[in-house]
Structure 1
Amino acid sequence: MGKITVGVLFGGQSSEHKVSLKSAHTIITNLDREKYEPILIGIAEDGKWKLYDGPLEAIPQDTWEQSDCTPIVLLPDPSQHGLLKTVGGMSEKIHLDVVFPVLHGKNGEDGKIQSLLELAGIPYVGCGVLSSAMCMDKDVSHRVVKEAGIRVPESIALTGAISEEQLAKGMTGFNYPVFVKPVSGGSSYGVTKVEEESKLMAAIREAQKYDMKIGIEEGIDGCEVGCSILGHGDDLTVGEVDQIVVTNGYFHIHQDMFKKTGLENASIHVPAQLPQVVQEKIKDTAKAIFRALCCTGIARVDLFLTPDNEVVFNEVNTMPGFTSYSRYPRMMEAAGISVTEITDHAIQLALENAN
């Protein structure tokens, strides 16, 4: 029996393009080569798809486009099940058994690439179209999770041009600080902690650089915690809970600036420095959120923990980072699960779900 061909998608049209390159390098180098044959598919920032066959180290260095690239297209016909490569007027089809879309943010985690793969009839790792779209939109995901009986931060969502009058009406009942963020964003891009009303409009303009729909959320007292989840339905594996300790300001990651740690103002404890009973409560809440949002495969559920140990939903990342400093693989590794085991389980689950 031959190896399973895995199309690894990386790059993409997103503010998290460079993060994706680092994550993809981790996935590619940890694939079990006795079982899987990776087909490397880069998506340039202008949206062009390219088959890559160069040195792997060029991917995280963002120099991969400089050589060994061939233009390709994904065939939407499900009977073809793969890519079309054209060189010198000659076309060649490349079969894909499954796709691992290591894409972060817009056009990667929002259901668009998932829809394309569904049309092409190709199984893929991670959440489906609906789940990806819900999780990417923080306003929608908060509404769904709240309906499931789990506390979410009080918030408002605003779209397009925002007047002072509209803002004043929407902010009735809010106390500062608040957090302004793009509703569909990641890696903390465009997020601002606002301490006073006079700085609110500037924070909104910053968030709108990344998404015209923005959210304003109440600040939650306490710390941030997270759970890495792998599986489907009732069969879920949860890594160790992590806990973020902020030294100043608030937790935010600028992964392209802080290459070694990804952190500017915080440290992360894995496992969390919390009583076991509290950690189990966090895990149970994360699993309930995972199911409420119809997640499957892999996802990181981010939460707040208040001083009285109430768990509050923050967001779900349906394709979490796999860089050297990313939280998802660190939580799994703390539970004794390697990246190779994660990729194997996720790929097999994608193939099983397709059947």
Structure 2
Amino acid sequence: MANNRINVGILFGGKSAEHEISLRSAKNVIEALDTSRFYPVLIGITKQGKWLYDEASELILGEGENLSLNIDSSEVALVPNSGGQIHYVANGKWAEKVDVVFPILHGPMGEDGATQGLLKLANVPFVGCDVLGSAVGMDKDVMKRILRDAGLPIGKYIALRSHEVRPTFAEISTELGIPCFVKPANLGSSVGINRADTEDEYNRALDEAFAFDRKIVIEEFVDGREIECAILGNEEPKASVPGEISFSANFYSYEAKYLDDKGYRIDIPAKITEEQIKEVQDIAVRTFQVLECEGFSRVDVFLTKEGRILVNEINTIPGFTKISMYPKLWEASGVLYTDLISQLIDLGIARHEKVSGLRTSI
């Protein structure tokens, strides 16, 4: 810590299939952090789950797309109820103390409430949703059930666990229609997602989705435009201008998102009416609140040809590179990338202070 700046633990990498995406997001955040207020403390998590710390801040190696963790860095651990104190595993000595943590982790073991629970046990403020919002936002089945019960519009779907009898292609065709989409219930960034138009594609999609998760969702095809809206805030969240994703492939795949810069087009703001903008924003804020989210999230919806808006999903730690939708939506709404990062850190600290003031006993 220097000049009384706030030590921000940038937590990135992780064990999920979205490890590399996390590295890209973290590199951008580190480069854009307002260093007049914040001092970055880099903590990288390997695919094996080890927490690494490098005092020289050289945890992310490589340029452009070729990013990796410096595995020669020291392994550290976060101490429960320490208020952000971390220590070296090898000798137990204290390392840097973090005043607040920005977890830039996508997918299971990072975005699903597990890391958030650990940070709460350590009694350290952190950016983004709390345990509950993170957990329900990660599980597409639980998320959709809560949205449905709250009266929010969603598409038809079924959930399937690995030990259950798989519905036949004919049964899915009758219940949901063809094509359909098959997805792991607890993953993001379009990893493990496939569109199925034929029986062979359907069976292969089931196998691939179950390779990533014990529970999957099979969703109806919604013939509509994909609109995204960024949410920012705690008790009184605000919505950005909506944006639209259109793509050349038959769906917005992992390859289209991250490997083919010509595979999609982004329109910010989305080319929709003022009434539709207001409806998207209202539904996005309500989705955020119904799912008990805080800090930030991105809500993705479909706008059908009939003008209906259906909630597709929420992303509680959306991609955070400078060209990712969440920062771009806020930039179009008047909040620049560095200021957005600062606001998120402030929101995490403010929530922690309010929670710390609550009584814990009678």
**Structure 1 length normalisation: TM-score?**
0.92
**Paired residue type of 2:77:** V
- For residues 173 and 44 of structure 1, what CA distance do their matches in structure 2 show? 42
Q: 1:23 aligns with which of 21, 25, 34?
A: 25
- For residues 156 and 127 of structure 2, what CA distance do their matches in structure 1 show? 32
In structure 2, do the counterparts of structure 1 residues 59 and 353 end up closer, same or farther at CA, with 3 Å as the change threshold? farther
Given that residues 253 and 263 in structure 1 are in contact (C-alpha distance below 8 angstroms), is that contact kept between their aligned partners in structure 2?
no
Deviation of 1:217 (Å): 0.4
Asked if residue 233 in structure 1 is aligned to residue 226 in structure 2, the reply is no
**3-state DSSP class of the match of 1:209?**
helix
**3-state DSSP class of the match of 1:216?**
strand
Q: 1:190 aligns with which of 189, 192, 198?
A: 192
Given that residues 247 and 256 in structure 2 are in contact (C-alpha distance below 8 angstroms), is that contact kept between their aligned partners in structure 1?
no
- For residues 314 and 19 of structure 2, what CA distance do their matches in structure 1 show? 19
**3-state DSSP class of the match of 2:107?**
coil
- Please list the CA deviations of residues 123-157 of structure 1 after superposition, one character each: whole Å capped at 9, or x if unmatched: 11000101100000001101111111111111111
Name 2:93's counterpart in structure 1: 91
Name 2:220's counterpart in structure 1: 218
**3-state DSSP class of the match of 1:94?**
strand
- Please list the CA deviations of residues 98-121 of structure 1 after superposition, one character each: whole Å capped at 9, or x if unmatched: 100000011110000001011111
In structure 2, do the counterparts of structure 1 residues 255 and 94 end up closer, same or farther at CA, with 3 Å as the change threshold? farther
- For residues 59 and 107 of structure 1, what CA distance do their matches in structure 2 show? 25
The equivalences for 1:1-355 within 5 A come to 2-52=4-54, 53-55=56-58, 58=61, 61-65=66-70, 67=72, 69-76=73-80, 78-85=81-88, 89=91, 91-164=93-166, 172-234=174-236, 236-254=237-255, 258=259, 263=261, 265-355=263-353
Given that residues 195 and 251 in structure 2 are in contact (C-alpha distance below 8 angstroms), is that contact kept between their aligned partners in structure 1?
yes
**Paired residue type of 2:319:** G
Given that residues 271 and 334 in structure 1 are in contact (C-alpha distance below 8 angstroms), is that contact kept between their aligned partners in structure 2?
yes
- Please list the CA deviations of residues 284-307 of structure 1 after superposition, one character each: whole Å capped at 9, or x if unmatched: 110010000011101100111111
Deviation of 1:167 (Å): 7.0
Given that residues 25 and 59 in structure 1 are in contact (C-alpha distance below 8 angstroms), is that contact kept between their aligned partners in structure 2?
no
**Paired residue type of 2:347:** L
In structure 2, do the counterparts of structure 1 residues 151 and 63 end up closer, same or farther at CA, with 3 Å as the change threshold? closer
In structure 2, do the counterparts of structure 1 residues 38 and 326 end up closer, same or farther at CA, with 3 Å as the change threshold? same
- For residues 285 and 15 of structure 1, what CA distance do their matches in structure 2 show? 30
Given that residues 156 and 170 in structure 1 are in contact (C-alpha distance below 8 angstroms), is that contact kept between their aligned partners in structure 2?
no
- Please list the CA deviations of residues 215-269 of structure 1 after superposition, one character each: whole Å capped at 9, or x if unmatched: 00001111100001110122x23222111223231122337961xxx55632111
- For residues 90 and 170 of structure 1, what CA distance do their matches in structure 2 show? 55
Give the unaligned 5+ runs of structure 2.
Answer: 354-362
In structure 2, do the counterparts of structure 1 residues 321 and 255 end up closer, same or farther at CA, with 3 Å as the change threshold? farther
- Please list the CA deviations of residues 21-80 of structure 1 after superposition, one character each: whole Å capped at 9, or x if unmatched: 00001111111111111100000111111102344762663343155x11111111x145
**3-state DSSP class of the match of 2:175?**
coil
- For residues 275 and 256 of structure 1, what CA distance do their matches in structure 2 show? 26
In structure 2, do the counterparts of structure 1 residues 218 and 148 end up closer, same or farther at CA, with 3 Å as the change threshold? same
- For residues 164 and 297 of structure 1, what CA distance do their matches in structure 2 show? 38
Given that residues 19 and 47 in structure 2 are in contact (C-alpha distance below 8 angstroms), is that contact kept between their aligned partners in structure 1?
yes
**3-state DSSP class of the match of 1:214?**
strand
- Please list the CA deviations of residues 300-341 of structure 1 after superposition, one character each: whole Å capped at 9, or x if unmatched: 001111112211011111111112431111111111211111
Given that residues 100 and 347 in structure 1 are in contact (C-alpha distance below 8 angstroms), is that contact kept between their aligned partners in structure 2?
yes
**3-state DSSP class of the match of 1:254?**
helix
Identity of aligned residues (%): 36
- For residues 219 and 185 of structure 2, what CA distance do their matches in structure 1 show? 11
- For residues 105 and 298 of structure 1, what CA distance do their matches in structure 2 show? 16
Q: How many residues align?
A: 348
- Please list the CA deviations of residues 172-219 of structure 1 after superposition, one character each: whole Å capped at 9, or x if unmatched: 422101100111111111111111334311110011121121100001
Given that residues 140 and 313 in structure 2 are in contact (C-alpha distance below 8 angstroms), is that contact kept between their aligned partners in structure 1?
yes
